[in-house]
Amino acid sequence: MNPDLQSILAEQLRDIAMPTAVQWWPLATGWWIVIAVSLILFGGLIFWLVRRHYKNRYRVVALEQFQLAIQAWRDTPEPDLYLKRSNQTLKRVFVSLGEQNIAAEFGPQWIKGLTARAKHPLSQSTVEALTSECYKPRPKVAIEQLHQELTLWVRSHRGSKNV
């Protein structure tokens, strides 16, 4: 090949055009979908957590009331006072669940309402304490055991579907 022709052809050659680098913005459609789904899931999680917190707030209040009652019993051991306070607290739990009819019950119907919601069965001594012993002037009740069972009941009972 002729050197002059070769130099003419070499002058006509251009450098290779490199493509521009792929930029991170604007995002592709798939990323927008991922962001939207993530935001929806995050919002749903926040909504569920807040709703769960408000639905179980009565449990925290009831446990605080039981703690105050047991502390008062430890200061001045009067089992009848503890039984009255614990019965009031349990009835308030049912009122907060929207079960005023169960909260108004007493005796066997009251225990039936308690056991219907219980995940763990109540012992016979607890049943007797809540039905008959609470009306006696000097009840013979194991308050510590009763307190443990009632706090377990508040922590683990099945709540209402409509709260």
When pLDDT is cut at 50, 70 and 90, the band that residue 127 belongs to is confident
Structure tokens at 86: 């614990």
Give me the mean pLDDT over the 58-74 stretch.
94
Q: How confident is the model at residue 163, as a pLDDT?
A: 45
Residue with tokens 């709260």: 163
Q: How confident is the model at residue 107, as a pLDDT?
A: 85
Q: How confident is the model at residue 29, as a pLDDT?
A: 92
- The tally of domains found in the chain comes to 1
Residue with tokens 């012993």: 133
Q: How confident is the model at residue 128, as a pLDDT?
A: 87
When pLDDT is cut at 50, 70 and 90, the band that residue 160 belongs to is low
Quote the DSSP letter at residue 78.
Answer: -
* Sequence-distant (≥ 6) Cβ neighbours of residue 87 within 8 angstroms: 130, 134
What is the domain extent for residue 116? 58-156
Burial of 146 (0-12, 13-18, 19+ CB in 10 A): buried
Confirm if 93 and 62 have CB atoms less than 8 A apart.
yes
Closest CA to 146 of 157, 160, 133: 133
Is 128 contained in some domain? Answer: yes
Is 86 contained in some domain? Answer: yes
Average pLDDT, the chain: 88
Q: How confident is the model at residue 64, as a pLDDT?
A: 96
Give me the mean pLDDT over the 125-140 stretch.
84
When pLDDT is cut at 50, 70 and 90, the band that residue 65 belongs to is very high
Angle between helix axes 108-117 and 124-131 (nearest 10 degrees) is: 130
Is 114 contained in some domain? Answer: yes
Backbone angles phi, psi at 129, to 5 degrees: -65, -40
- Give yes or no for residue 115 having a pLDDT over 60: yes
When pLDDT is cut at 50, 70 and 90, the band that residue 134 belongs to is confident
